[in-house]
Structure 1
Amino acid sequence: MFLQLTEKERTIFELACPHLQVMSNELHTKEAVHFCLQLLQAVDGDRHIVIPAAILHDTGWAKIPEKVSKKIRVPDGEPEAIKVHEEISALIAELILRDVNYKSAYIDEIVSIIIGHDSRKKALSLNDKIVKDADKLSRFSKDFSKIWPKWGDGSVAENLYAELANGVENWFFLSESKKIARIELDHRIKEHHAQNAPIA
């Protein structure tokens, strides 16, 4: 991933990293950025907005006790508590972006995306759609799909693939995101079958 980031984006990621050391957030963030880069090749979003927003969107979880966040950070978790992490993430994002002398106009849009990336049901813009979709696409990635169902009480979803298949139809704004999700889900299912195939 780092080979695909600009020097400024790498600096933002490095400053964000101390805030991403809970609940596998560093991995989740890398996956979200990866999918943002993929979507930016297919749709005409603004990289100056999308990549920093993806890097910084979940930094606020670091300020919430993990025993609390594990109970609320589940798909469709507690709305008010989720809103708190968005607001903290937006504050951290603004501080980091000002620290690297990011353009004020970019900062305003990035903060507006972050402050509703989970709780806001409608997207503000194409850039917001890309960030929201990439956030959800991370659940389909090889490494992160093993982690996200364990949020909450520690139990794994009864049928992860059924949950993800439902997500393909209901989580995304962009048709390109649905295509990527279907491909990733197909890979995950094939990998599962290969790992669990009987030995001849």
Structure 2
Amino acid sequence: MPPIKRAPTLKSTQLRHVLNVTQATSRHPERDCLAILLTHCAGLRCTETARLEVRDVLWPTGRLRDEVQLRAETTKNCRARLIFLTNPKLRAALEVYLAYRLTNRLGCSLDAAGYRGLMPYTRLLLTHRGSGFELVRKRRVLPDGRQAEYWAADALEARFRALYRAAGLKTSSHAGRRSFGTSLLKSGLSLEQVAILLGHADEDVTAGYIAVDRAQLRTMYEFAL
């Protein structure tokens, strides 16, 4: 059976390079930098990123949330999970993009008192036309042979690939999730905790998903002893 091809994990220097290139070359750097950071700093999948709404990241008062309960209908396995928006770089990117939306009147309401004047049920990330990224209904075969339908944000995924390609990397949005999970494990979280934050029902899926080198395994083993 051929090995499963997985997106590479990115070092912090590589992530900075991708963000710098995006800032310099993208026509919509505020949105695109935020999209990249949502995968790297919160572990979101591409479609989960596309389906985030303004109300998910803002309180009605306009204050940024620290935690977001992803709705079950927006996740891959239809299980609600908690994500955290506490990373300083991620919060700064959110502030920049929300200000950009207000300045350019993208998805704004007539009521400036709530949600900073943005319509709460609009998608957080908008295309250049001011609408959410299109979702495509697809099918996949589950391990038990059953077929399941799911939504895929192919247009946003293509955008991710283009951003990485501009930075000299051939990878997908999954590079963010894999880097996120790997970083959490290296920081001392258990495999079970990483699985919860990634939204995996099975720790075996997480174990095959993240990147752990031999040196790290040896260090973890010696620490456990």
Do the structures match in fold with TM over 0.5?
no
TM-score (structure 2 length as normaliser) = 0.35
More strand by share: 2
More helix by share: 1
